[in-house]
Structure formats: structure tokens, C-alpha cells
Amino acid sequence: MTPDYTYSYLSVAAMSLLDFVFVLGILGVSRMIQRRHSYPEKLTPYECGIPPVGDSRTPFAVKYYIFALLFVVFDIEAVFLYPWAMVFRSLGGYGFGEMMLFFAVLLFGLIYAWGKGALEWV
């Protein structure tokens, strides 16, 4: 007995069309009941309830971006470390050697970043 895939595809297509109509309906109702009057208070930028001061295009120091990238790199290290620790015994010497190479590359990066002063916040 062969399954009828056409019925399955038609049900998915019908549900997708129903979803699309539902989203358009919600957007249409939202458009009909919204306030159409803009006033200066509404058009001002909002940040934490404090009125903005100065130019919004003020440059940030690059060290903050570098610090964030280093955080991501070492966070990824932790993500790779957990599965390795779970299967440590089954990998044998080859898996241990590969992970030590991975640690060596990360340690070199950490020493390099430390030497360049990228880990200093001030």
C-alpha cells in the first residue's frame, strides 16, 4: 500500500495559505485601529527613559569590539570542550592530541591578546 503524498502536500499548502491570510489579516486590523497622528514626543528617540544627549554617531573605542570578539572565541571554546569531555575515553590518544592542539592555538591567541593589551578594560 503506497501512501498518498499529494494529500500531505495539499494539507501543508492549505495550512501555509491559511497562515499567510491570518498574518495579513492581523496586520490589516492593526493598520485600521492605529493612531494616525504623529506628535513630536512620539517621534523622539527613546533610550531607557532618558532623553538623548549628543550625537548618536559618536564613535566607540575599538577595544570594546575586540573584547567582545575575544569573549565569543573563548565561549566557543567552552562549547567545544563539553562534548569532548563527554566522549573523552572513547577518543583515545588521537582525540586527546587533537584537543591539546586546539588548546595550544587558543592559548597562543590568549597570550597574544594579553600581550597586545586587549584584555584591559580601561
> Domain locations in the chain?
5-116
pLDDT given for residue 2 in this prediction: 53
pLDDT given for residue 83 in this prediction: 87
Predicted TM-score (pTM) above 0.85 = no
Sign, Cα dihedral of 22, 27, 30, 32: negative
Measured between alpha carbons, how far is 47 from 43 in angstroms, rounded to an integer? 13
Rounded to the nearest integer, the mean pLDDT of the chain is 84
Half-sphere exposure of 12 (CA within 13 A, CB side): 5
The pLDDT confidence band at residue 39, using thresholds 50, 70 and 90, is: confident
A 10 A CB-CB count for 66 gives 15
CATH number of the structural domain 5-116: 1.20.58
Percentage of the chain beyond pLDDT 90 is 24
The residue-averaged pLDDT of 99-103 equals 90
pLDDT given for residue 1 in this prediction: 46
Percentage of the chain beyond pLDDT 70 is 93
Q: Are 95 and 88 in contact (CB under 8 A)?
A: yes
Measured between alpha carbons, how far is 73 from 106 in angstroms, rounded to an integer? 9
